[in-house]
Amino acid sequence: MKLLDGKALSARIKDEIAEQVAQIKAQGGNVPHLAAVLVGDDPASQSYVKSKVNSCHRCGFESTLIKKDDGISESELLDIVADLNDNPDIDGFIVQLPLPQHIDESKITLAIDHRKDVDGFHPINVGRMAQGLPSYLPATPFGILQMLERAEIETSGKHCVVVGRSNIVGTPISILLSRKASPGNCTVTLTHSRTKDIGAVIREGDIVIAAIGIPHFIDASMIKEGAVVIDVGINRVEDESRKRGYRLVGDVHFDEVAEKCSFITPVPGGVGPMTVTSLLMNTLKASQKEIYA
């Protein structure tokens, strides 16, 4: 079994991005500027946004963090989005999800100018992605593609089983891996909460992508010998032995599955760090007008 070390790979990619930004600065070009909007005090969201801002600094990007308490109204948040859309200094921005119940996430997503939608969540970017047109790819699927590519894992003709059909991970990665591209050219099965005998379906996978958000959902009995296992889950489980009272585990029972598969991503330190580098790559593209003029 080989470990797909997302922490090490993302550090390497960040060094590459920092080098490109240094060149842009030396040539007097447009330095990438990412803005992030964080609503409320969800600890996981706070930690993700902190990591995004820190990564911007590390790569020489400019960054702006807009923090609002969870009492913010939908229309106030829409005003912030409109300001960011109109602000020529901001190349791209994200509104961290989830949002409080009283705010319609899809309304916010639709309000973001697709040319600044470095999360790749706007239907224009999703539609362009589905048709293989240049677009901002959503961060987690983009990170998974990077991992597969850099580890030189063959995907063409493989059966990929995706577990979970979220808009952020399961649905887009199933589209991307089925596309005529590299990585891609997979035969994809998208499984979800209504899939019958899900274990038997997962066991058919040469590549398994777990993005269901249930700790240790996939055990060794569900994995084919030699499969590639990508664990997107980042679940907090209580652990009194830890100072902070919890630890992070994936959707995959790592210890069991690691003995059976050819490649596996750890949690933490697998897909998670890659999502941040994807966001940086999208923001770099936005600043250089690579996708949209």
Among residues 4, 38, 90, 94, which is the contact residue for ligand GUN, using CB under 6 A? 94
Contact 81, 35 (CB under 8 A): no
Q: Does 168 bind ligand GUN (CB under 6 A)?
A: yes
Query: How many Å is the Cα radius of gyration of the chain?
Result: 19
Q: Does 251 bind ligand GUN (CB under 6 A)?
A: no
Q: Does residue 260 have an active-site annotation?
A: no
Residues in the chain: 293
Q: Hey, is 187 helix, strand or coil? A: strand
> CA-to-CA distance for 244 and 123, rounded, in angstroms?
38
Q: Considering the complex, what minimum distance in angstroms separates the CB of residue 118 from ligand GUN?
A: 9
**Which residue is catalytic, options 119, 206, 231, 251?**
119
> CA-to-CA distance for 163 and 131, rounded, in angstroms?
22
Binding mask 127-156 for ligand GUN (x = CB under 6 A): ------------xx----------------
Q: Kindly state the number of chain residues that form the binding site for ligand GUN, as judged by CB under 6 A.
A: 9
Q: Does residue 52 have an active-site annotation?
A: yes
Q: Considering the complex, what minimum distance in angstroms separates the CB of residue 169 from ligand GUN?
A: 8
Which part of the chain contacts ligand GUN (CB under 6 A), choosing from 90-98, 99-107, 204-212, 255-263?
A: 90-98
Among residues 96, 135, 146, 191, which is the contact residue for ligand GUN, using CB under 6 A? 96
Q: Does 248 bind ligand GUN (CB under 6 A)?
A: no
Contact 189, 164 (CB under 8 A): no
Q: Hey, is 17 helix, strand or coil? A: helix
Q: Does 214 bind ligand GUN (CB under 6 A)?
A: no
Token pair for residue 47? Answer: 């930690």
Q: Hey, is 160 helix, strand or coil? A: strand
Q: Does residue 119 have an active-site annotation?
A: yes
Instruction: Provide CB contacts within 8 A for 135, sequence distance 6+.
Output: 120, 124, 125, 126, 128, 129, 291
Among residues 18, 31, 65, 97, which is the contact residue for ligand GUN, using CB under 6 A? 97
Residues belonging to the active site: 52, 96, 119
Residues forming contacts to ligand GUN in the complex (CB under 6 A) are: 94-97, 119, 139-140, 168, 275
